Amino acid sequence: MTRVVFALVMATAVMIWWLERFNVVATEPLWLLVVVLGVGYLLCWTAHLYYLAAPSPARFHLRIATQVTVATIVMYLTGWGPALTLGFVIVARDNLTVAQGHPWRPIAVWIAVGLVLYVVMRRAGTGADKPELQFESN
């Protein structure tokens, strides 16, 4: 199953790159999308397995932090910052289904950190020239 998911992640990178031609996502090189999505998937999967091996609050924080960071970077690269909240809802739902006890506080904290990270990346020199995508109605 992991190979199938990894293949889908790579296909997602190619689709994002292809959507650039229609000005639906920001322009990024294919290699960067493949690296970010591929490494991001591997990091998230590793953090997930690490948590499942011996659930603890520290491992749960690592799992959430990894997912939030990957979601934030992918949304930044695509220029779809406003969709970041949807990515965070998916991260929150995933962690609520896996965690023991009442995990909403660490999830909320890490999502807040992700929002701050996004704002910092937008204001940094590496991406300040990347506009948020604007869709025009005809």
Q: Please check whether residue 135 lies inside any domain of the structure.
A: no
Model-level pTM greater than 0.85?
Answer: no
User: What is the per-residue pLDDT for 129?
Assistant: 46
Q: What is the mean pLDDT of the chain?
A: 83
Answer yes or no: is 94 within a domain.
Answer: yes
129 within some domain: no
Q: How confident is the model at residue 131 (pLDDT cuts 50, 70, 90)?
A: low
Domain extent at residue 89: 2-123
* pLDDT classification of 132: cutoffs 50, 70, 90: low
Q: How many domains does the chain have?
A: 1
The arithmetic mean of pLDDT across residues 32-48, rounded, is 92
- Ramachandran class of 28: left when φ > 0, alpha when ψ lies in -120 to 50, beta otherwise: beta
Assess if residue 132 is contained within a domain.
no
* pLDDT tens-digit map of 67-120: 999 999 988 888 887 788 888 988 999 899 998 778 899 999 999 999 999 888
Phi, psi of 12 (to 5 degrees): -65, -45
CA-CA distance, 36 to 42, in Å (whole number)? 10
Q: How far is CA 83 from the centre of its chain?
A: 11
pLDDT of 2 reads: 65
